[in-house]
Amino acid sequence: MCVRDDRILLVARERSRWALPGGRIRRDEAAHQAALRELEEETTLVAGELMYLFQFNGFNTQHHVFFAEVGLHLTAQPSNEIARCRWFAPIKIATVSASVPTRGIVELFFRHIRALEPDEVRRMSQHVDRATP
């Protein structure tokens, strides 16, 4: 999950649905290493910090969801198999052609934020305000 200015970064392959940046974990690779690698491979963004959020079970895939913090000055550029990168307001994700797991993860992310204690929400908000794409 990359969030900047209250918008979530989604990516899409050519003629494909919008999705969160991500991909498969390689053999002998930790989930957080895969998250960093996939974010950079798909968007050219380099995360300064990752925060593990939760697991999400899709149809055939278990998703490890992280909150990524990248610099405000960095711009997401499509790379490798990705044709488009775009920032969406969370409410728009329900109206665009997005994958089912993406919709579920975004919904769970906002439920997770609402369930946090006030101090945790403040810390998370600070991350979001500083540009967490």
Two structure tokens written together for 103 = 């919709």
List the alpha helices (DSSP H) in 13-76. 31-43
Which parts of 65-116 fold into alpha helices (H)? Answer: 90-93, 100-115
Render the burial of 82-112: b for 16+ CB within 10 Å, e for the rest.
Answer: beebebbeeeebeeeebbebbbebbebbeeb
Read off the pLDDT of residues 46-93 as tens digits, 9 standing for 90 and up.
Answer: 988 899 999 999 888 899 999 987 878 889 999 999 999 999 988 898
Domains, in order of start, for the chain: 3-129 (3.90.79.10)
- The listed range with the strongest mean pLDDT (33-42, 63-72, 91-100) is 33-42
Mean pLDDT of 5-25: 93
DSSP string for 61-72: -EEEEEEEE--T
